Structure 1
Amino acid sequence: MSERLFGIHGAALELRSHRMGLLTSNIANAATPGYKARDIDFASALEARTAGATRDASIETATRYRIPTMPSLDGNTVELANEQMAFAENAVAYSATLTFLNGRVQTITRALKGE
């Protein structure tokens, strides 16, 4: 039912939220030897989700390990500047998706009130 009410935006918000967690984990582990940075291919995850895959399945199939531009000696693949840029980009997209959802909720609320 929520997919009919909120369309693609509900799934997008869930995926963006999960991506935010991955990016935060990458940033937090920037100095951890051997840590492998991960990210979600958002377009693939959203496509899988809209095709009927569960949230977990769509995230699992779209999660990728990052390939660093400059390999580090300790095996850590986090490149802090790239992670911070991806985090900021995702935060803006998350906010935009939340704004779309808020507008949809307000529209439904007005319709229920008969306005």
Structure 2
Amino acid sequence: MAINFDSALGVHPQTLDFRVQRAKVLASNLANVDTPGYLAKDIRFDVIVNQMDLGKVQKATSQLLVSDGYSVPYQNSKDGNTVELSVEQAKFTKNNMDFQSSLTFMNMKFKGLAEVIKGR
């Protein structure tokens, strides 16, 4: 009997892809904190999930570009830059923690599959 990794791993691989893509977007924001007129971007997990087919999990990576959105700043700057350093750092840190959580779930899935294969 063959193992179907898509059904065995669930949404976790796509979640990791999302977290990597979001880290890139947030890192770009942080790199442009002093660029006049730069508009901070973000991608939201709930938007990506809503774009996925309900019956089948698709690769979310290709859909991320469609859902890119601009962040609304808490406080406007004079030069038109919407990046707020502390807010972006907090988002980046939370995204990193979420990535680590998703990676832990993936590792648990792989350990469970390994035990099934070994027959324990």
Aligned in 2, Cα 1:13/1:78: closer, same or farther, shift over 3 Å?
same
Q: How many residues are aligned here?
A: 115
Residue 54 (structure 1) shift = 4.5
What is residue 101 of structure 2 aligned with on the other side? 96
1:40–1:62 contact (8 Å) kept in structure 2: yes
1:31 and 1:50 map into 2 onto residues whose CA distance is 39
What is residue 48 of structure 1 aligned with on the other side? 51
- Consecutive unaligned residues in structure 1, runs of 5 or more: none
What is residue 36 of structure 2 aligned with on the other side? 33
Give the match's secondary structure for 1:60: coil
2:97 and 2:18 map into 1 onto residues whose CA distance is 14
Aligned in 2, Cα 1:8/1:56: closer, same or farther, shift over 3 Å?
closer
Task: Quote the RMSD (CA, aligned, Å).
Answer: 1.7
- When normalised by structure 1's length, the TM-score is 0.89
Aligned pairs for 1:95-114 within 5 A:
95-114=100-119
What is residue 8 of structure 1 aligned with on the other side? 11
1:11 and 1:28 map into 2 onto residues whose CA distance is 26
1:91 and 1:58 map into 2 onto residues whose CA distance is 21
1:113 and 1:56 map into 2 onto residues whose CA distance is 33
- When normalised by structure 2's length, the TM-score is 0.85
2:26–2:92 contact (8 Å) kept in structure 1: yes
Q: Which amino acid aligns with 2:43?
A: I
What is residue 71 of structure 1 aligned with on the other side? 76
**Larger relative helix fraction:** 1
Identity %: 33
Residue 57 (structure 1) shift = 4.4
Q: Which stretch of the first structure deviates more once superposed, 66-75 or 48-57?
A: 48-57
Superimposed CA distance per residue, residues 51-91 of structure 1 (whole angstroms, 9 cap, x where no aligned partner): 45542443123221011122212111100111011111111
- Consecutive unaligned residues in structure 2, runs of 5 or more: none
